[in-house]
Amino acid sequence: DIQMTQSPSSLSASVGDRVTITCRASQGISNYLAWYQQKPGKVPNLLLYAASSLQSGVPSRFSGSASGTDFTLTISSLQPEDVATYYCQKYDIAPWTFGQGTKVEV
Partner 1 sequence: EVQLLESGGGLVQPGGSLRLSCAASGFTFTNYAMSWVRQAPGKGLEWVSTISGGGYGTWYADSVKGRFTVSRDNSKNTLYLQMSSLRAEDTAVYYCAKVIAVAGGFFDYWGQGTLVTVSS
Q: Which residues bind partner 1 (CB under 8 A)?
A: 1, 34, 36, 38, 43-46, 49, 55, 85, 87, 89, 91, 93-101
**Who contacts 87 (Cβ-Cβ below 8 Å, separation ≥6)?**
6, 35, 36, 38, 44, 98, 99, 101, 102
Q: 19 vs 34, which CB is nearer to partner 1?
A: 34
DSSP 8-state assignment for residue 16: T
Least CB distance to partner 1 at residue 38 (A): 8
Q: 6 vs 72, which CB is nearer to partner 1?
A: 6
Q: 12 vs 31, which CB is nearer to partner 1?
A: 31
DSSP 8-state assignment for residue 50: T
